[in-house]
Amino acid sequence: MDVGVLTVVVLLLAVLTVRAVVRLVRRSATFQGVAVAALALWSVLLVTAGVVELRHHHVQAVATQATRMASGDPQARVVCARAGSDWMDLSGTLGFVRYDDQRTSRLRTSTCSALGSFLWGDYLHGSAYEPSLQEVVALHVVSHEAQHVAGEFDEGVAECLALRWDVRVAEAFGAAQAQAQGSASRYLAEVYPYQAEGYVQDCSAVP
């Protein structure tokens, strides 16, 4: 299970909220007004932190399913970096797969945040939702890292293979077919040609 600082905070807030409820029910609080205010505070903080934690796990789960599909590895998994650990990563990459842990796609906090924005925005607005360019890129990162999970570590080849999966990955995140195709087309037109050297090549030569 992915346990981070926020997980511990949510559990602590849950304990404080339950404690406040018990004190009110038993009327054991010296000042009832203070107890009510404490319950309201803990409840608001619990809901806020809980939603953020839920979103983290939701994005991670959907990205894992998409990665398993695009890599063909049923044991693949995605790990979304927690904000604290992400601060220490100065690589500038949006995601990576380590040679010694090939089944794990590790995505930056910003990448998972963009995936969450797309995922939840699509749920709220359906096919009418217009993804931002950052969200389009994040969806492609899932496709790209999945190719590394599959064993392809040449960046140019991985990029070409990922382009072929972009529509299905977007659909795995809830996009309608036209919306998924639009996202993939936008990446191909607005992002792919401007990638760093080694990432862009003649994809027709890639089997």
| HSE of 109, CA atoms in CB hemisphere, 13 A | 13
Residue 189, domain member (yes or no) = yes
Residue-wise pLDDT tens digits, 10-33:
688 788 788 777 777 777 666 677
In a domain, 124, yes or no: yes
Domain housing 149: 61-205
Establish if 99 belongs to a structural domain.
Answer: yes
Looking at the domain assignment, is residue 121 inside a domain? yes
Give domain status of residue 130, yes or no. Answer: yes
Dump pLDDT digits (tens) for 62-102. 999 999 999 999 999 999 998 766 666 666 789 999 999 99
Average pLDDT over residues 160-165: 98
> How many distinct structural domains can be found in the chain?
1
167 occurs within a structural domain: yes
Res. 36 pLDDT band, cuts 50 70 90: confident
pLDDT, tens only, 99-150: 999 999 999 999 999 999 998 875 555 666 788 999 999 999 999 999 999 9
User: pTM of the predicted model, to two decimals?
Assistant: 0.82
Contact 82, 99 (CB under 8 A): no
- DSSP for residue 87: T
Any domain includes 14:
no
Tracing tokens 């931002």 back to the chain, one arrives at: 132
Considering the domain boundaries, does residue 2 fall inside one?
A: no
CA atoms of 112 and 94, how far apart (whole Å): 9
